[in-house]
Each structure stands twice: as C-alpha cells, then as structure tokens.
Structure 1
Amino acid sequence: MAKLTKPFIEQIPATGKLQVIYDDDKKAPSGFGVTVSPKGVKSYFVRYAYNGIDKRAVIGKVADWSLTAARLEAEDMRKAFAQGRDLKAERRAAIEAAKQARRDTREGRNTLEALIGDYHAYLKARGKPSAGEAYRRLKRHVIDAQPDLAKKPAREIVPDDVMTIIRKVAGEGKERTADQVRAYLRAAYSIAMRAPYDPLLPAELKDYGVQSDPTAPIAVIPVRTSERVLTRKELVNYLHAIEGEDLQQKALKLALYAGGQRMSQLLRAKLSDYDAEHKTLTLYDGKGKRAQPRVHVLPLGPVAASIVRGLVERARSLSSDESEDQGPPFLFASRGAAMYPGEPGKYLRELIDANGWPSFNLRDVRRTVETEMARLGIGKDIRAHVLSHGIGGLQDKHYDRHAYTTEKREALRKWERHLAGLMAPKKKAGKVVALGARA
C-alpha cells in the first residue's frame, strides 16, 4: 500500500509483472488503487465484493483520469456495489448495446433498397441508358411490392427472398419482366461484391459487406424470342400512321428512317450531337458491359436529316430562355428532360389497338428493318454497323478502326429510297386511324 499522488504514480516503473497498489490516503475510498501492467500501462481500479466474491473493477487509465476524479468515481461505484449492482456486467452490457446500435445503424443504411439506389447511381454515372429502366423495374417490383425485404440488410438477403420477388412478378404473367428483375439484382450484387477490391467502383458500395450473391442459384427465366417481322403491307400502314408532328411520331419515324435505331439511345441525343454540315447524328451505345459507351455515328439520309433539323429548331426554341450552364438540350426534350423511352412504345401500342393491327413492338420494327435491308442486298457487316450490333471479334475490337461512314451513308440512302417506294401511290395503305395530337 502507498499514499497515492500523481508524482508517485508517474514514477512507478514497469517490472514485467502485474503490480497492484492500494491507496493508503485517508481521503481514498476503501479498495481504491492503481494497477501497473507488465508493459507499464497504469489504470485506476476499485475492489468490491459481489455475491461473496472479490472482484476488481477498472475505472480507467491514469492518463485519462485525474486522481481526484478517479477517487470520486470509485466512491460512486462502491455505493452501486452496496446496492447489489454488478457494474462490470453492466459495463459489458452497455458496450455490447453500443456495438449493436452501431450494427443497427449500419444495417439501416445498407439495406436492399439502399443497394438498389446505389446501383442506379452507378449506372447513371457510367452513362448507361438502362439506368432509369433498371431503377423503375426494381422500385416497382422490389421496393414497393416487397417493403419488408427492401428494408432488410442487403447482406442478409438469401435466395429464398429473391425467389419471393421473382415468383410474384412471374405469377402476374410477366416472365420477361421477372427475368429482368433477376438480372438487375444480380448485377447490383455483383458490383457490391467486387467493390472492396476494385478501385474504380464507388467506395460506398464496399460498406454493404456482401459476401455472396443471393441471385446466383436463381435460374434464368426462359423468354420466348419473337420472330415477328412486319409484312410489306403492315410496314406501309405503319409508315402512314407515324406521319405527323407529334413528338412520339417523330421519334418512331426517325428510329425507322435512321435504320432501326434503339429508342433509348435515340431519345438521349442532344443538340450538340447533330453535325449539320455533314448531316450526321452521333448516338452513344452503352449497351452491355462497356466501360465507356461506343460512339455510333449515323450519316443520315435526306428524310432523317429533315426530321432532325426540325428537332434542332424545336430544341433551340425551348432552350432560348434557359441558362447555358444546363448543357445542350435533348432533341426529344419532354417536360425539361429527355423523353422517357417508354413513351414511343406506349404510343405504338395505342396505335395498334386503335387500328386493330396484329401486335408488334419496337424490337419487331428493328428486326423488320434489318430483314428488309438484307433483301436490298446490304451486307451483314454494314447492317451491323448501321444498327450498332455487338461487334466483338478480335479483329473488330482491336484492329479495325475504319468508321464505315461512306458505307453507312450509302446503306441509309438506299433504305430511304426503299421506304419512299413503299409510300408511293401504288402502295396504298389500308384504312389507318391516326391518334390525336399529344402535348
């Protein structure tokens, strides 16, 4: 025992063994003292009896407590012991509660819903046209339809949870949508798993702690591939139905005359993407796993160029009162942003219903364009460059840097002449019901 003072405590040397020194000062509560670890770490403690067993409770390190404060804390602790409380157990419980609170906070942030949001942000940052569609699908069929699962920590989602989501969508007769939801979830989990080891992925994705992919065991849902190709008569009727000033009509017409372009890419074209001198429209093909969208330059034929000139004038008039800081406006601006890719498709479905036509969609129109181009003698390679098909061979990916501008221009002019021939008076359309003008 010794009368503890700050200078006395500071000069106690480390001996390689644990030292326990009780305070002999009359001001000190009974059982108060200081320990010195074998390596010289000094801590205040108080000794007490609990259920007849002697115990020693650590108050804190000498470096963190004044001697007076430590003595007062020891007095309070002894009073608690006298009331039958086990402060050591209470302290362990408090530490565990704090850890659990941190886990709950972390898991509250890193839910499946949050992962979906971060996945959407990741796709947008990479300029992926599918970003909006992916989020809308996941929000509708996961966040809104399965709120309990959406609030669950992403790392705790298991294959049965994913099947609950997928079965509900498939049970509504939406097999294609169900497989899209599966694919989007798989992609989200893939980047969350890679994030801790890939410096190019957003840092926040590594915080999910995802160790396995709950979508991995889920089978791909087979979707019947359409082989639908419009007949010449159907194509003529379609051409007549999309003649008009409605913005959806212009989108459908330009997609067709420009060689069957993907609507999602076409609608994201901006004023700066049109080269009036060379009559080219540049699209950006972000489809697939490309780190950067592929530049897709379209040398337009006369009809397509005329449509784009009208869109350019419209875009300029809409942006005349806006700040240039907002960047070049979209050619198909609708309510201050790019037109939603689903709008032309919805217009087409309404057109089909109004005329009682056999059903077809924009993919069928794109397939029809390629089929008709093949009949015109346009080669497979040139068709691939016009329609921006995946060109993934070693030669194409690494060595062939020819832009094919001349070949594409000739193909698109040939295509426009073919459509003009179909629209000639001798190719009369059936009775076509036009839809009312849209805002």
Structure 2
Amino acid sequence: MATFNDKFIRDLEVPAKGRKVAFDDHRDSPIGFGVRVSPKGKRVFILRYTADGKDRLMSIGEHPIWTLTAARKKAQEFKREIDGGTDLLQQRRIKRAELTLADVIEQYCGQYADKLKSGPAVRGALERHAVPVLGDKKITEVRRREIIDLLEPLSDGKQRMAGLVLGYIKRVFTWAEDREIIESNPVATLTANKIGQGLTASARTRVLLDREIMALWSEQPEGMSRAVWLALRFVLLTGQRPGEVLQARHSDVHGHTWTIPADHRGKTGDDHDVPLTETALEIIEQAGGEHYLFERYRGQALEVNALSKAVQRCATALQADAANRWRPHDLRRTMRTGLAASGVSETVAELAVGHVRKGIAAVYDQHKYSIEKRNALEAWERRLLAIAERREPDSSNVVPMVSA
C-alpha cells in the first residue's frame, strides 16, 4: 500500500505479462481503490469489492484521462452504492449482455485457439488488427463491408498478412455461429482474392480535395488531440503507413532521416529510409513525444484507431466530403498522387512511399535512390504547402527527377 500521486502512478513498473495492481492508502480513498497496470503500460483506476461472497474488480477509468482526484471521488460514489447492496459490476455485465467482437475473440482464443500451436499468432493478429478497429462493436452488428475495410489497408504491401487475418476472423465468426452467438456469418464467403488487388471493383481511390488539405493544415480541430492532429499531418507529408508513423521512435530518427525497421513493415523486406523535410522535423518537434514521435501520453504510442475515430468525430471541422469521407490511409494515397503531379518518376515515387520493387528490376537495380527520394519528398512538401497556403506551386523550384 502507498499514497498515490501522479508520479507514483506513472512510475509503476510495467509487468512482462499479466496485470499488476497497486492500492491507494490515501485518507480520501475507499478500501479497494487502486490502479491496474497492463503489459502495454496502460494504467486504469479500479475498485475492488465483494458481492455475494465473490471478489469483484471493476474499472473506473484510464489514467491520465481520469485524474487521480476525479477517480477517488468516483470510487467513493461507487462504494456508497455497493455498501447499499448494489453489485455494480454485475449491473455493467447485464447492460453489456450483447457480446462485442472483442468479447467473442477473447472467448474464442481462451476456449479454443490458445490451445493450438498457432495460438499466440492467432491471438496476436486478432488483437493487433481486429480489436482496435471493430472490437467495441456488437458482433451481431459487424458487417462484411467493415471487415473488408479493416483488411484493405493491410493488403498494401502485406497481402499475406491480410489473408492470415481474414482466415482468423472467419474462424471467430464460424465459432460464434456454431454457438448461436450470431445467426449468420457475414464473412463466410469472403475470400483472400477479394482483398487488396482483388477488390478492384470497390478498391478505394479516395484522395483529399484541396479544401480538405487546407482544413487539416490550417488549425487543430476542436475535439482532436494535438498528437493525433500532428500525426495525421505527418502521414500526409511523408506518405508512410499510419501504423508505421505511430510506431516511429525518436531512436529511429537520425538527422534528416527516419528509418522504419524491417520488423515494423510486415513482410515487405528491409529497413526503409524516409527523408525528413524541414516541415516534417518541425512536426516532430511540435509533437514533443518522449519515446515515440506521437504519444497518447508520456511514453505511450497512439493507436491507429485513434486517428480514424478523430477524423470521423471532427469531419465537419475538417470539411470532409460527407458522401465520401476520407480516412487516415487516404492521406498516403493523396501524397503518392501528389508525387506524380510533382513530376516524380514512378520508380522513385513507389520507393518513397515504401512499396517494394518486384521482379528483375529488384534483383539487378541495387541503387538506393536516396537523393532522388529526398528530392521527391521536398517537391511534395512544396506542393502541399502551396495548397495549404492557397497558392500555386512554384514550378521553378521543382527539382527534376531521375527517370527509372
């Protein structure tokens, strides 16, 4: 037991596995009030109590979104209800009678997948790719189109991973259908060849309109955190995948170059060097992350779904087209289109956004294109800032690109 303060909570040791719980002995805290720390470093205020002879542990809220003072006050309110005979955790469970996709994934893994040799890979892929995007949605309300939208960004350079995740999701829905959790399986006939390049009929071609770029670049929208806003601008400026941007660490940045490690790029191969323009370096400085370039709070990286939710929540402020609202991954496509419009050759443009060369060219052409990629990023920077500032780009400043 210890008396909590913000520093004590931030400094709590992160467990390698399982969850660590510490309790507060402050005079204003009810018995059982504490903090739970997950292996990912998430710190959540909790209240432990007993009901019908059973030990209960209910969540109050995540620190630092919830302040220590507010969490203590809420714990006192909950304790008064509990002392009056109310089992608050059971009430919550009744309200959540319809299982979410995250609930069903946990049940599927716990009762079946975890017992398989491939169990860790199955659970890891589902928790990394499916839960952050659709985990909070009731499983009975998940639609086929939403699964395709979830998998489509993965297919960009990660076709094999998209196929694996689809296979795991199909197993979850089949398992749920067999147990009558759902009446029908929305992805029963969805196959891997319909993901990515197979989705030619419905593949996204969305790029941002100039007015949408100006809105994103002009000022931080109300209701969007500064870290999220800067991360979205950084994706548009560099053209890299949102997931790679949010995993970027200060240790990956050396001078004017950001190196994306191979293990952050799925099966795409080697490390990828991204030239950083002056504007990109300014964004990094403004973000002020401690470990990651863009952080939810000190030392904790933003999650990809935070970008998607923020764009959806702030659509009006972003002047997003209501009929075809843009998504974070569309920023990357906008940048790639902007490279072409700036006169950058296809070879250099593809390498600049991290696409892997294939075929005989990949074997025989070992040139790194470092200077050409930097010129390309600087040409796009000029074009982007010209749009943001409502002026035509100065074509006299565009550096000619080396042809493939």
TM-score norm. by structure 2 comes to: 0.51
- How far is 1:239 from its partner? 2.0
Aligned residue identity for 1:263? P
Q: What is aligned with 1:176?
A: 148
| Residue deviations 1:66-95 (CA, integer Å, cap 9, x gap) | xxxxxxxxxxxxxxxxxxxxxxxxxxxxxx
Which residue identity lines up with residue 170 of structure 1 in the other structure?
A: R
Which one of 348, 359, 366 corresponds to residue 382 of structure 1? 348
Partner of 1:294: helix, strand, or coil? coil
Task: Please say if 1:111 is aligned against 2:84.
Answer: no
- CA shift, 1:289, in A, is 6.1
**Which residue of 1 is the match for residue 389 of structure 2?**
424
1:402 counterpart SS class: coil
What is residue 284 of structure 1 aligned with on the other side?
A: 261
Q: Deviations over 1:183-242 (max 9, x none)?
A: 52526999xxxxxxxxxxxxxxxxxxxxxxxxx984426672122222333322332245
CA distance in 2, matches of 1:113, 1:139: 19
Q: What corresponds to 1:333 in structure 2?
A: 295
Cα offset, 1:424, TM superposition: 3.2
Note the C-alpha offset of 1:111: 0.7
Unaligned 5+ segments in structure 2 are 1-107, 153-161, 172-186, 393-404
Give 3-state SS (helix, strand or coil) of 2:243's partner.
helix
- Spell out, residue by residue over 1:305-333, the C-alpha distance to the aligned partner (whole angstroms, 9 max, x if none): 2222344xx334xxxxxxxxxxxx22223
Q: CA deviation at 1:269?
A: 0.8
Moved more, 292-301 or 111-120: 111-120
Q: Which amino acid aligns with 1:232?
A: D
Deviation of the 1:267 alpha carbon: 0.7
Q: Number of paired residues?
A: 249
Take 1:245 and 1:137, find their aligned partners in 2: how far apart are those partners?
A: 19
2:249 corresponds to 1:270:
yes
- What is the aligned partner in structure 1 of residue 158 from structure 2? none
Q: How does 1:394-405 map to 2 (within 5 A)?
A: 394-396=360-362, 398-405=363-370
Higher Rg of the two aligned structures: 1
Match of 2:273 among 273, 297, 300: 297
| Match runs of 1:173-252 below 5 Å | 174=146, 176=148, 183-184=164-165, 186=167, 218-220=189-191, 224-242=202-220, 246-252=226-232
Asked if the contact 1:348/1:361 (under 8 Å) is kept, the reply is: yes
Task: Answer yes or no: is 1:367 the counterpart of 2:348.
Answer: no
After TM superposition, give the deviation of residue 250 of structure 1 in Å: 1.0
> Counterparts of 2:109 and 2:386 in 1: how far apart (Å)?
62
- Does residue 241 of structure 2 align to residue 255 of structure 1? no
Q: Is contact 2:260-2:272 (8 Å) kept? A: yes
Percent identity of the aligned residues? 22
Distance 1:344 1:286, change over 3 A: same
Q: Specify the SS of the correspondent of 2:357.
A: coil
**Structure 1 CA distance for aligned equivalents of residues 269 and 123 of structure 2:** 16
In the TM superposition, what is the alpha-carbon distance from 1:387 to its structure 2 partner? 0.7
- Rate the CA distance shift 1:179–1:296 in 2: closer, same or farther, 3 A: closer
Does the residue aligned with 2:289 lie in a helix, a strand or coil?
Answer: helix
Name the Cα RMSD after superposition: 4.0
Letter in 1 for 2:355: H
Q: Does 1:133 align with 2:129?
A: yes
Counterpart Cα distance in 1 of 2:150 and 2:381: 38
| Match status 1:350 vs 2:313 | yes
The alpha-carbon deviation at position 117 of structure 1 amounts to 5.3
Asked if the contact 2:257/2:275 (under 8 Å) is kept, the reply is: yes
Preserved contact between residue 169 and residue 177 of structure 1 (Cα < 8 Å): no
Contact in 1 for aligned 2:109/2:119 (Cα 8 Å): no
Partner amino acid for 2:205? E
User: Kindly tell me: are residues 401 and 299 of structure 1, through their superposed partners in 2, closer, same or farther at Cα, counting changes over 3 Å?
Assistant: same
Q: Give 2:165's aligned amino acid.
A: Y
Q: CA deviation at 1:251?
A: 0.3
Distance in structure 2 (CA, Å) of the matches to 1:289 and 1:225: 21
CA contact (8 A) 1:265 1:284 kept: no
Unaligned 5+ residue runs, structure 1? Answer: 1-106, 124-129, 146-164, 191-215, 317-328, 428-439
**Offset, 1:370:** 1.4
Q: CA deviation at 1:339?
A: 0.9
**Aligned to 1:315, what secondary structure does the other structure show?**
coil
1:272 and 1:390 mapped to 2: Cα distance?
24
